[in-house]
Chain A
Amino acid sequence: MSKIIMDSQTVDRAISRISNQILERNKGAAEIVVIGIRTRGIHIAERIVDRIEKLEGIRPPLGTLDITLYRDDFRRKSEWPSVQKTHIPFSVEDKNVILVDDVIYTGRTTRAAIEAIMDYGRPASIQLVALVDRGHRELPIQADYLGIKVMTQKTEEVKVLLKETDGRDEVVVVEG
Chain B
Amino acid sequence: MVFQRKHILGLEDLTAEEISLILDTAESMKEVSLRDVKKVPALKGVTVVNLFFEPSTRTRSSFEIAEKRLSADVLNFTPTQSSVVKGETLLDTARNLEAMGATVIVIRHSMSGAPWLLARELDSSIINAGDGSHEHPSQALLDLFTVREVKREIQGLKVVIVGDILHSRVARSNIWGFIKLGAEVRLVGPPTMMPQDVEKMDVKVYYNLEETLKGADVVIMLRIQMERQGSGLFPSLREYSRFYGLTRERLKLAKEDVMLMHPGPINRGVELSSEVADDVHSVILDQVSNGISVRMAMLYLVASGGGNA
Contact = CB atoms under 8 A, between A and B. Distances in A.
DSSP class of B's interface residues: helix, strand, loop or mixed? loop
**Which residue, B40, B44, B45, B303, has most C-beta atoms of chain A within 10 A?**
B40
**Which residue, A74, A87, A116, has most C-beta atoms of chain B within 10 A?**
A74
A120 B35 contact: yes
A114 to B, nearest CB: 12
A120 B21 contact: no
B32 A82 contact: no
A121 B42 CA distance: 19
A77 B3 CA distance: 12
B37 A119 contact: yes
A115 B28 contact: no
A83 B25 contact: yes
A80 interface: yes
A66 to B, nearest CB: 7
B167 interface: no
A119 B29 CA distance: 14
Contact of B41 (A77, A87, A115): A115
Contact of A77 (B28, B29, B307): B307
A84 B30 CA distance: 11
B28 A85 contact: yes
Interface in B1-59: 1-3, 21, 24-25, 27-29, 31-32, 35-37, 39-45
Contacts of B29: 83
B37 A70 contact: no
B36 A69 contact: no
Nearest to B31: A86
A121 B36 contact: yes
Contacts of A77: 306-307
A83 B2 contact: no
Contact of A85 (B27, B36, B307): B27
Interface string B298-309: 001001111100
Contacts of B306: 77
Q: Bin chain B's interface residue count.
A: 20 to 34
A83 B307 contact: no
Nearest to A71: B42
Interface in A105-155: 115-116, 119-121
Given A80-B2, A82-B1, A82-B2, A119 B40 contact: yes
Interface string B267-307: 00000000000000000000000000000010010011111
A87 B31 CA distance: 8
Contact of B2 (A79, A86, A115): A79
B304 A74 contact: yes
Contact of A82 (B25, B43, B307): B25
A85 B32 CA distance: 10
Contacts of A79: 2
Contacts of B24: 82
A79 B4 CA distance: 10
Nearest to A93: B36
B21 A82 contact: yes
A122 B35 CA distance: 14
**Which residue, B1, B39, B304, B305, has most C-beta atoms of chain A within 10 A?**
B304
A84 B27 CA distance: 9
Contacts of A115: 41
Nearest to B41: A70
A43 to B, nearest CB: 20
Contacts of B70: 69
A80 B35 contact: no
A80 B2 CA distance: 7
A70 B40 contact: yes
A29 B35 CA distance: 25
Nearest to B43: A74
B37 A86 contact: no
Contact of A120 (B1, B2, B37): B37
Interface of A: 66, 68-71, 74-75, 77, 79-80, 82-87, 115-116, 119-121
16 contacts: A69-B40, A69-B42, A69-B70, A77-B306, A77-B307, A80-B304, A82-B2, A82-B21, A83-B25, A83-B297, A84-B28, A87-B31, A119-B37, A119-B40, A120-B35, A121-B36
Given A69-B28, A69-B300, A87-B31, 11 more contacts: A66-B28, A69-B70, A74-B42, A74-B45, A80-B2, A82-B21, A82-B24, A83-B28, A84-B28, A85-B28, A116-B40
